[in-house]
């Protein structure tokens, strides 16, 4: 199964509304960053490189909700940093669920035992746990031993309590088709998470490790081998089939970063949460005052190796919703 049926139906209705209103650009998912601080220092992450005074800041719940209402996205991905470090993260999630937004709380899972009693299971809420590989690989990725084991234990506890748990895995040049297959098999079959997301690593300018980001050719070769022999159909992905086609090079898309805008302590980030060409004061300003034609592979050299879901998943969703054949394929998984 691909994207959950409830979510697919809601997003489909939302897309129809945008089409009837003749809007060319709109938000599908809001990437909300209410803080940059984290309890880990992953080598491939550039978010924790902000100044100390910024890392201490926490976005007020009212400000976060205003951003959600402003852009109107039906899906909200709460990232960071580590969102569970926010003292009112439970309040924010509760308010978003009340508004029937589909909420994915991105976390390394280490703080879940301390915070989980503050949340309630809901079909609109998922813990999205960051798992980059099996034990040795994941612990190396987050630069700390023991994190994988703790994350797995905390995922199992959340599942026992009735929470939806998804995972998000980022892959680098250090990964092989076999290592990717092994972690996806583990997450899907052994840990039995509800769904999985995956992404080729994007080269953050501020990331400590600049040597192991995947290029387009490397990404396509990797996922072509990972998805071979019918394995792809056995795994529960939280992606449209067309995005998975895109990863292995069966189709190509233009970047539509405006559909997954990033809102953080600084405002609306141009053009996406992976790059920083300044900030807009409103989502409308982001849409209208950003030269979107200047970005994407073939336009900006910084985008040359990007195949991240923030730019290309919305394009694949729009293509899916515009085709009856692809819509039925997405529902079948």
CATH of the domain at 171: 3.20.20.70
Q: What is the pLDDT of residues 166-217, one digit of tens each?
A: 999 998 888 999 999 999 999 999 999 999 999 887 654 554 444 556 788 9
E strand segments, 49-179: 75-78, 102-107, 125-130, 164-171
Give the closest residue to 247 by CA, choosing from 186, 321, 169, 188.
169
Percentages of the chain per state (helix, strand, coil), in multiples of 5: 45, 15, 40
**Residue 76: what are its φ and ψ, rounded to 5°?**
-125, 120
Total structural domains within the chain: 1
User: Mean pLDDT throughout 67-73?
Assistant: 98
* 223 and 309 Cβ atoms separated by less than 8 Å: no
Rg (CA), the chain: 18
Query: What is the full DSSP assignment across 255-298?
Result: --GGGS-EEETTEEESS-TT--S-EESSHHHHHHHS-GGG-STT
Q: Which domain holds residue 157?
A: 5-331
Q: What is the mean pLDDT of the chain?
A: 90
Kind and range of the H or E element at 154?
helix 147-160
Q: What is the pLDDT of residues 211-261, one digit of tens each?
A: 556 788 999 999 999 999 999 999 999 998 999 999 999 999 999 999 999
Q: How many CB atoms lie within 10 A of CB 36?
A: 24
8 Å CB contact between 333 and 233: yes
What's residue 209's pLDDT? 46
Dihedral over alpha carbons 130, 220, 102, 141 (to 10 degrees):
10
Question: What is the predicted pLDDT for the residue at 208?
Answer: 47
Share of the chain above pLDDT 90, in %: 71
Backbone angles phi, psi at 235, to 5 degrees: -100, 145
Q: What is the mean pLDDT of residues 70-90?
A: 96
Q: What is the mean pLDDT of residues 97-120?
A: 97
Q: Residue 136: phi, psi to the nearest 5?
A: -65, -45
CA 39 – CA 137 distance, rounded (Å) = 19
């Amino acid at each position: 199964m691909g994207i959950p049926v409830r979510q697919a139906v809601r997003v489909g209705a939302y897309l129809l509304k945008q089409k009837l209103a003749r809007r060319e650009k709109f938000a599908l998912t809001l990437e909300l960053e209410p803080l940059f601080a984290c309890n880990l220092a992953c080598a491939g992450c550039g978010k924790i490189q902000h100044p100390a005074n910024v890392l201490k800041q926490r976005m007020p719940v009212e400000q976060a909700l205003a951003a959600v209402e402003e852009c109107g996205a039906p899906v909200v991905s709460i990232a960071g940093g580590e969102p569970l470090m926010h003292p009112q993260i439970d309040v924010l999630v509760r308010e978003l669920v009340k508004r029937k937004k589909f909420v994915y709380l991105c976390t390394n899972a280490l703080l879940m035992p301390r915070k989980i009693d503050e949340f309630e299971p809901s079909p609109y809420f998922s813990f999205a746990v960051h798992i980059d590989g099996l034990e040795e690989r994941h612990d190396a990725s987050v630069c700390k031993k023991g994190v994988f084991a703790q994350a797995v234990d905390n995922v199992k506890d959340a599942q026992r309590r009735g929470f939806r748990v998804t995972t998000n895995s980022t892959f680098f040049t250090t990964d092989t088709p076999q290592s990717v297959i092994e972690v996806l098999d583990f997450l899907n079959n052994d840990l039995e998470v509800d769904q999985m997301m995956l992404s080729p690593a994007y080269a953050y300018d501020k990331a400590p490790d600049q040597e192991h980001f995947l290029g387009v050719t490397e990404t396509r070769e990797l996922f072509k081998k990972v998805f071979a022999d019918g394995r792809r159909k056995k795994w529960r992905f939280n992606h449209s089939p067309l995005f998975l086609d895109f990863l292995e090079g069966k189709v190509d898309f233009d970047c539509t970063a405006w559909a997954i805008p990033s809102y953080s302590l600084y405002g609306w980030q141009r053009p996406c949460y992976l790059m920083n060409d300044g900030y807009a004061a409103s989502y409308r300003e982001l849409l209208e005052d950003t030269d979107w034609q200047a970005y994407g592979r073939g336009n900006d050299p910084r985008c040359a190796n990007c195949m991240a879901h923030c730019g290309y998943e919305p394009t694949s969703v729009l293509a899916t919703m515009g085709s009856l054949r692809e819509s039925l394929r997405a529902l079948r998984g």
